[in-house]
Structure 1
């Protein structure tokens, strides 16, 4: 596009030079006509009728030449104004391009950071599910032995408020929470899609010579959206870390045969209630 502008400006400059040359030629012709008129008036003494006709013809030619010169002058002025506007537009496009480069780099850096955080969150969820499956497998083995008539004295697990079904309920709640967290992660992934669309729209706006204020507004909105998503992902990561630590502590207490205090039992009962909607008694 810059090359096309330069070619157009070069062509207009050539047209201006050509028009100026034609103006000079017309002025020379006018001067020559005036000199011829003067010479004919001095050298020849035609009759009054011929002189009047020649004078009228010369005046007509002179008037036409003046009109042509005025048209050419207006055309030159119009081309000069258009050339000035093209130069100003080219400068504006260069400034927009320079201003867009750091913003685009910042946008790409934020997107890379979001991708890394999403990958880390998925890894954390997979690790949590793997740990929970291992713990459930360890709990189910002594439970199956006991149901088959083989008592397991070394297990040391205290009976919970719901009997032997407590590990299964705990695993079910954790799986439900992991499903909810995966749904939130998918939601955030779908919400991050408009950022890519905003970047493409940003490039389209620049390619289509849009207004620079709209461009800057799009950049500000994209940055605000990135910061908001980053804050949400950090909050989710911190909450998952706390929940993972809480689950590990509870499982360790159950392995050691420790009976939780009364307030903890109350909290566990509130957590195991499906209608409660809370996880581990914390937000």
Structure 2
């Protein structure tokens, strides 16, 4: 009988110990949840403050950005249009020059690469140029 009582007493003490550890775990989980809630609430309040600050600054920034429309006199408008036209023609001529120069530089580069390869392989050019496919002079 004493053994049975001892066994039940030890079982109860084990159960109580398990319950206590479970309760402690629940408390730590609960404390962690509570801590997370506090952190999120603090973050929310900080973000709300930033939003309020931005909202108060928004009308001032919009006023600074907007500028009143200006009406130009006809002479000034015509002079601006002529300047624009001159600038556009200059851009077109510069683009043409750039295209021509790039073609010329490409040909020169290819010619130099050909000469370099000929030199590396021992093929030297002669000083006299040979004219091919020219019509013969009739006497």
Bucket of the pairwise TM-score, normalised by the shorter protein: 0.5 to 0.7
Which structure has more helix as a fraction of its residues?
1
Change (3 A) 1:48 1:129: closer
Supply the distance in 2 between the matched residues of 1:53 and 1:64 (Cα, whole angstroms): 16
What residue number does 1:237 align with?
none
1:70 paired to 2:24: yes
State the match for 2:44 in structure 1: 90
Partner SS, residue 84 of structure 1: helix
Q: CA separation in 2, counterparts of 1:129 and 1:83?
A: 64
> Which of 61, 82, 88 matches 2:15?
61
What corresponds to 1:124 in structure 2? 72
DSSP-derived class of the 1:124 partner: coil
Instruction: Please list, as runs of the form range in 1=range in 2, the aligned pairs for 1:27-46 lying within 5 A after superposition.
Output: none
Structure 2 partner of 1:103: 57
Deviation at 1:112, TM superposition (A): 1.6
Aligned length in residues? 87
CA distance in 1, matches of 2:50, 2:58: 12
Decide whether aligned partners of structure 1 residues 91 and 174 sit closer, same or farther in structure 2, where only a CA change above 3 A counts: closer
Higher Rg of the two aligned structures:
2
Q: Which residue is equivalent to 1:50? A: 4
CA 1:129/1:97 → structure 2, altered by over 3 Å: closer, same or farther? closer
Structure 1 residues not aligned, in runs of 5+:
1-46, 133-172, 184-283
Please provide the CA RMSD for this pair: 2.8
- TM-score, scaled relative to structure 1: 0.28
Deviates more, 1:79-88 or 1:103-112: 103-112
Aligned residue number for residue 175 of structure 1: 82
Structure 1 residue 57: Cα displacement: 0.9
State the 1:174 CA deviation: 8.3
* Larger RCO (alpha carbons 8 Å, 6+ apart): 1
Q: Find the aligned partners of 1:129 and 1:58 in 2 and give their Cα distance.
A: 99
TM-score by length of 2: 0.53
- Cα deviation for residue 89 of structure 1 reads 0.8
Find the aligned partners of 1:174 and 1:90 in 2 and give their Cα distance: 55
Q: Whole-Å Cα distance in 2 between the matches of residues 51 and 174 of structure 1?
A: 109
Unaligned runs of 5+ in 2: 89-139
Q: Secondary structure at the match of 2:6?
A: helix
